[in-house]
Every structure is written in structure tokens, then in C-alpha cells.
Amino acid sequence: MAGKRLILMGPPGGGKGTQAKRLQDRYGIVQLSTGDMLRAAVKAGTAVGKEAKAVMDDGKLVSDDLIVAMIADRIAEADCANGFILDGFPRTVPQAQALDKLLKDKGIRLDSVIEVAVPDARLIERITGRFTCAKCGEGYHDKFKQLKKAGVCDVCGSTEFIRRADDNAETVGARLKAYHDQTAPLMPYYKAQGLLKVVDGDRDMNLVTGDLERILGT
Ligand code: AMP
């Protein structure tokens, strides 16, 4: 059985967050999304949130030091003891090196790094149409996953929805550039460690989940 400390890699809008949520429910391991943590900090108006907001609005990457400190605190919490799914972290080689050191100091190691691969051409339409339920977090899409009843969440019945401030066509270009320039070098980094597996993310999301579950085992 494959272990349960993993990284989900992949471009913005490629479905990492959706898949991480499913794996969290399936295996009882926590999803650690640095993007979600930063958005919560922005909303709460904390010092971290204030520092991150402008960078996120530009589609650029927040500083490695800030992110590494945030994830180090989070991984130390009790709910991470059984495993975790890193979603959106690491995003740069220095972040990956810091993670290696952090885990080594704790005497634990990563079990898998999985890339959910989606071609650029598909990402813009996937990102610009997406929205989530403000109450339960269920994800939807204007074209690919519509609400069954207009204006009402299928899962919890809420009528409030959120669209991310950075999910617009202009910012998506900068986010894709950051991904190719700064995050893509992580694939050879983890390949060299024998950890990298690649899943085709440009398919029905249930098929993608099936592949991930096959990699992770029971
Ligand atoms: P995400 O929700 O993963 O798409 O992240 C949204 C935004 O948060 C990114 O465009 C970055 O500005 C910032 N961010 C999230 N995770 C990281 C990270 N690991 N390193 C640097 N910036 C990050």
C-alpha cells in the first residue's frame, strides 16, 4: 500500500483542489492548501494576509519564507500526524528544499508526488468559469459543472457563491507564467528522487480520481 503523505502538483485550474478534497474524504488525511490558507488570511486581515494580497491579485508567488513558515506551523498540528495532501505547495525549488528539510527533521518522508497534468489551452476556460458554494465549499463551473437548480447549491441548499478574485483572464496569464517558470522545475526535482507520478488531468474528474486512488491504494 502506498503511503499517505503526498503532494498534488499541477497548473492552476488543473483540478488539484477538487481532487485533494476527494482524497481527504476518501482516506481521512488532511488537505493543506496554501492558497486556501492565504485567502483565509486575506479575509481575516492578518499581517500575512496584508502582505500576500497584492501579490495574489497580480497572479505572482508569495515569498518562500512566508509560505514555508506557514506550512511548517500547519504540518506540526495534530491532524497531520496520519498524513496530508499538499495542494499548491511547494511551488518553487527553494520551497521543496525547505520541505525536505522540515520532514527530515521530523523523521518522516514523502510517499508520492503526483502531477495532475492539463494543457495550458484548457486551463483558461476551466479557471474563468469556476465558482464555489460560500457555505459548504462545493465547486461548480459555468459550463462544465452547472448547478442543478439555478442559484442553489446542489449539496447544502445555500444561495451564496464565491468567485476567486484572481480567477480572471488577465491574472490567469501571470499565474500560468509563474507555474511554468517557477513550479515546473519541481517535476525533474521529484523525478530524480523517484517520487513523481503523472496523471492525465484533462478528463472527466471521476476518471482522474480513479487514477489517484489506484496510485494511493486502499
Ligand atoms: P492557489 O489557490 O493554489 O491557486 O493559490 C492562489 C495564489 O496564492 C497564488 O497565485 C499565489 O499568489 C499564492 N500562493 C499559493 N500557494 C503558494 C506557494 N506555495 N508559494 C507562493 N505563493 C503561493
Catalytic (active site) residue 5: no
Catalytic (active site) residue 39: no
Strand partners, 115: 9, 198
Which atom of ligand 1 is nearest to 91's Cα? Answer: 19
Ligand 1 centroid distance, CA of 119 (Å): 19
Q: Which pLDDT belongs to residue 2? A: 46
Contacts of 146 (CB under 8 A, 6+ apart): 140
Q: Which pLDDT belongs to residue 1? A: 40
Cell digits of residue 186? 519541481
Q: Does residue 70's CB lie within 6 angstroms of at least one atom of ligand 1?
A: no
Ligand 1 centroid distance, CA of 148 (Å): 31
Closest to 135 in 3D by CA, of 153, 116, 115:
153
Closest to 139 in 3D by CA, of 28, 54, 7, 33:
33
Nearest CA to ligand 1 atom 6: 35
Q: Cα–chain-centroid distance for residue 84?
A: 12
Nearest CA to ligand 1 atom 1: 35
Contacts of 51 (CB under 8 A, 6+ apart): 62, 63, 66
Predicted model pTM:
0.93
Which helix (H) or strand (E) is 22 found in, with range?
A: helix 16-27
Which atom of ligand 1 is nearest to 60's Cα? Answer: 12
Q: Does residue 62's CB lie within 6 angstroms of at least one atom of ligand 1?
A: yes
Distance CA 196, CA 7 (A): 9
pLDDT tens, per residue, the chain with 218 residues: 445 999 999 999 999 999 999 999 999 999 999 999 999 999 999 999 999 999 999 999 999 999 999 999 999 999 999 899 999 999 999 999 999 999 999 999 999 999 999 999 899 999 999 999 999 999 999 999 999 999 999 999 999 999 999 999 889 999 999 999 999 999 999 999 999 999 999 999 999 999 999 999 97
Q: Does residue 61's CB lie within 6 angstroms of at least one atom of ligand 1?
A: yes
Closest to 101 in 3D by CA, of 77, 66, 71:
71
Q: Which pLDDT belongs to residue 212? A: 96
Q: Which pLDDT belongs to residue 16? A: 94
Q: What is the DSSP letter of 80?
A: G
Q: Which pLDDT belongs to residue 123? A: 93
Q: Does residue 102's CB lie within 6 angstroms of at least one atom of ligand 1?
A: no
Ligand 1 centroid distance, CA of 39 (Å): 9
